[in-house]
Chains A and B, each alone.
Chain A
Amino acid sequence: MAEFGRAALVVTLGLCLYAVAAGALAASYRRRRLALSARNALIAAFGSTLVAAAVLAVGFLRSDFSLTYVAEHSNRSLSGVYKLSAFWGGQEGSLLLWLLILTGYAALAVWVNRNRTRDLVVWVTPVLGGIAVGFSFLLVFVASPFAVQAAPVDGAGLNPSLQNPYMMSHPPFLYLGYVGLAVPFAFAMGALLSGRTDERWIVATRRWTLIAWTALGIGQLLGSHWAYVEVGWGGFYAWDPVENAALMPFLAATAFLHSVMIQEKRGMLKVWNVVLVSLAFCLSLFGTFLTRSGIVNSIHSFSQSDIGPWFLAFIVIAVAFSTALIMWRLPLLRSTTRLESLVSREAVFLYNNLLLVALCLTILWGVAWPILSEAVRGQSVVVGRPYFDFFLRIFGLPLLLLMGVGPLIAWRRASLKGLGRTFLWPAAVAIVTGVVLLALGAGSSLPGLIAYTFSAFVLAAIGLEFVRGTRARRALSHESWPGAFASLVGRNRRRYGGYVVHVAIVLLAIGIAGASAFDSVVEGKLAPGQSLAVSGYTVTFQKLTERETPHAAEVRAHLAVSRGGKDLGPLEAGKNSYKIAGPDPQVSSEVGIRTNYLTGEDLFVIPEQVNGDGTVYFRIFVKPLVNLIWLAGLVFLLGSVIALWPDAREQRRLAVRYDEAGSAVRGR
């Protein structure tokens, strides 16, 4: 079977090389059959990659340890679902997943757009093929998942911390996001190569960008929740380089999603948009490089890594290619209109873009500086949490405020008198919220207080938007309130879906501020019968129990939780010692979490150290509003789905536009 898997990858590489060569020739010499052939090659590449992925999946399910990759990441006792998730538990498998998603997206993108943007797709095919060549080359020559060995009796097993439902979904979601950014990038490059810099590449990729962006956002939240419940350090985001690797393209894509609206509405920012889409894609490559090369663990592992130099070359090519193309086509990207006023919605979008890109580049610098410092000067430098937290506040708080300001300002220009009227209620709500919170003692954290005040402003502004819109719709159509509301959202899905996403970001901001700026912590060594008190809770350590399972030795501290004399029930926290290959077992902290679903607060117990004398050293947090972060994920998904939902009116409008332009646009 290994031979078959390897052959399938070789076929994929050949097909992608053909898609690049034939696609470029067909586009240059305007050859129709050759262009169709190149497109078919890209579609076939998805098929052959799917075959390779199926071979590897079968290898995992059958525990075929003659495959080195399977033996290194699975064992016989692993359950079926974790055997499948072990597919992306290591470098080679995750690269294969990357390629599978990429070829799947590529096949779908060129097929769906085969008619409407035909003169563009002929150039998109070689670009997508070129990206797929990079990954299939790595899988064939550098990091093959089909390397074989004499089969051992059992495999090494999957890292215990990866045996978690969140880790089954977190990597695929992130990859759907990372790889999805290849589609808008390829269409932007296709538009530049063909010289067709009209709006079609934006229209064609609008949904792709939104899908990729949503997947990236959901993937990060799943990863954060995994870190929160499984890693056991008491937080959800550590500004780890690998975490930042996913955040950077997300920020760049967020900026792109906003700035692209200015191009659609005003015909401005054409250069900026192709720069942003290139930045988002290159950062997704950089993120994969950071995660997979081992460079962030130690600069010395870079030279030992097979994949690092190749990947770096790939990134350099992508950056050079996109930069050269943008420079070449600058004359075609000139805007026909100008910003009319610094007090307008497009100006707010521009400020939002500058802040998002500034935050993104600041994080990039924080990630890159230790790597560069060690590579150039040989000095190890740590860029830690204070650096990232500082810039998150500097750029993040104004961004939060702008989310409320944007909807209140009209496109093109707004008078100060008009602004005063529209800002009145949201500003009043924000001021009252700030004063009340200050009176309640929230002034202990100024950034936290500002975040809550701004959040109140944004929520009031968005609420007002929905109320005004529904009222106007009702006056126009004489519908009932729910009918007018549904009609308002249905007729403006992107706009109101966007507002729902903004609500999610506000919930996220409130949750982050609550959990990090207003949390309480207490720690201490407890013997059975002793207690610790924190933020009104009393946590009493009752007893310690031990048990053996087929996978691990489990120690559990049994705790009783009460508040104000009221018993809130039991809680367990402990340690698992996983039996894995090697001399030492892998030990994980199994945290105890008690959630108050009404207030969104968590009591979070970490058993730092279990001692031989039966005592346990505990660290106990109370994290107010932390569960709003996870709720934000659901609201974010809802908003994205609303924005993504097909709009028949929009389709009709575009059909009329393309009918007027002729057959190469419309298709025959």
Chain B
Amino acid sequence: MLGAALAIVCVVLVALPFLREPEPVSDELDELTPERRRRLALAEERDRALGALKELEADHRAGRVNDEDYRASVGPLRREAALALRALDSQAEKV
């Protein structure tokens, strides 16, 4: 008896989305369009480049990275960050 009651409660919970929306306007799951996926990848790249730049600055300030290593790394990192930002902007225009 208790088992049957438990089963009924669970069935109701499972059926809840259908009970709440018997005739939904749309039953489609949200899908990331290829443009949005590209944009997400670019946002990840941008965050990665900006994060690396921030970390390099902190390491240089703390003395973990000397001036020579800093100069060798900061240029390419800034270029990477600028490229990612530019790509993200041009993608935004497309979207």
Kindly identify, within residues 22 to 65 of chain A, every residue whose CB is under 8 Å from any CB belonging to chain B. Answer: 26-27, 30-37, 40-41, 43-44, 47-48, 51
A395 within 8 A of B: no
Report the interface size for chain A: residues with CB under 8 A from the other chain. Answer: 66
CA–CA, A198 to B48, complex, Å? 13
Q: Out of B14, B41, B56, which one reaches A411, CB within 8 Å?
A: B56
Q: Mark A87-123, 1 if CB is under 8 A from B, else 0.
A: 0000000000000000000000000000000110010
How close is A195's CB to chain B, nearest CB, in angstroms?
A: 9
Q: Which chain A residues lie closer than 8 Å to B6 at the CB level?
A: 4, 7-8, 11, 48, 51
A413 in contact with B72 given A32-B26, A422-B64 (CB within 8 Å): yes
Q: Out of B7, B30, B51, B62, which one reaches A668, CB within 8 Å?
A: B30
Give the tally of cross-chain contacts (CB within 8 A).
164
A7 in contact with B31 given A44-B10, A417-B68, A664-B36 (CB within 8 Å): no
Chain A contact residues: helix, strand, loop or mixed:
helix
Q: Out of B14, B21, B69, which one reaches A414, CB within 8 Å?
A: B69
CA–CA, A417 to B15, complex, Å? 67
Q: Out of A118, A408, A657, which one reaches B40, CB within 8 Å?
A: A657
A418 in contact with B68 given A32-B26, A32-B28 (CB within 8 Å): yes
Q: Are B14 and A418 in contact (CB under 8 A)?
A: no
Q: Are B59 and A31 in contact (CB under 8 A)?
A: no
Q: Are B36 and A410 in contact (CB under 8 A)?
A: no
Q: Out of B18, B62, B73, which one reaches A412, CB within 8 Å?
A: B73
Kindly identify, within residues 418 to 441 of chain A, every residue whose CB is under 8 Å from any CB belonging to chain B. Answer: 418, 421-422
Q: Which chain B residues lie closer than 8 Å to A266 at the CB level?
A: 48
Q: Which chain B residues lie closer than 8 Å to A664 at the CB level?
A: 29-32, 36
Q: Out of B7, B24, B43, which one reaches A661, CB within 8 Å?
A: B43
Q: Are B43 and A657 in contact (CB under 8 A)?
A: yes
Q: Which chain B residues lie closer than 8 Å to A30 at the CB level?
A: 28-29, 31
Q: Are B27 and A32 in contact (CB under 8 A)?
A: yes
Q: Out of B7, B29, B44, B92, which one reaches A11, CB within 8 Å?
A: B7
Q: Are A44 and B66 in contact (CB under 8 A)?
A: no
Q: Out of B29, B43, B63, which one reaches A32, CB within 8 Å?
A: B29
Chain B contact residues: helix, strand, loop or mixed:
helix
* Residue of A4, A265, A411, A663 most packed against chain B (CB within 10 A): A411
Q: Which chain B residues lie closer than 8 Å to A3 at the CB level?
A: 3
Q: Which chain B residues lie closer than 8 Å to A418 at the CB level?
A: 65-66, 68-69
A338 within 8 A of B: no
A198 in contact with B44 given A31-B27, A664-B30 (CB within 8 Å): yes
CA–CA, A198 to B3, complex, Å? 43
CA–CA, A411 to B56, complex, Å? 8
Q: Which chain A residues lie closer than 8 Å to B31 at the CB level?
A: 30, 119, 664
CA–CA, A657 to B3, complex, Å? 47
Q: Are A267 and B48 in contact (CB under 8 A)?
A: yes
Q: Which chain A residues lie closer than 8 Å to B82 at the CB level?
A: none
Q: Are B65 and A267 in contact (CB under 8 A)?
A: no
CA–CA, A44 to B15, complex, Å? 11
Kindly identify, within residues 9 to 57 of chain B, every residue whose CB is under 8 Å from any CB belonging to chain A. Answer: 9-10, 13-18, 21, 24, 26-33, 36-37, 39-41, 43-45, 47-48, 51-52, 55-56
Residue of A nearest to B32 (CB): A664
Q: Which chain A residues lie closer than 8 Å to B88 at the CB level?
A: 660
Q: Are A410 and B62 in contact (CB under 8 A)?
A: no
CA–CA, A418 to B41, complex, Å? 34
Q: Are B64 and A410 in contact (CB under 8 A)?
A: yes
Q: Are A662 and B10 in contact (CB under 8 A)?
A: no
Instruction: Return the 7 tightest CB-CB contacts between A and B, nearest first.
Output: A7-B3, A664-B30, A661-B40, A36-B17, A468-B62, A472-B62, A33-B17
- New A-B contacts (9) at CB < 8 Å, excluding given A199-B44, A661-B40: A18-B14, A31-B27, A32-B26, A32-B29, A33-B27, A266-B48, A410-B69, A664-B29, A664-B32
Q: List 13 A-B contacts (CB under 8 A).
A: A11-B7, A30-B29, A32-B24, A33-B24, A37-B17, A44-B10, A199-B44, A408-B64, A412-B73, A421-B66, A469-B58, A657-B44, A664-B30
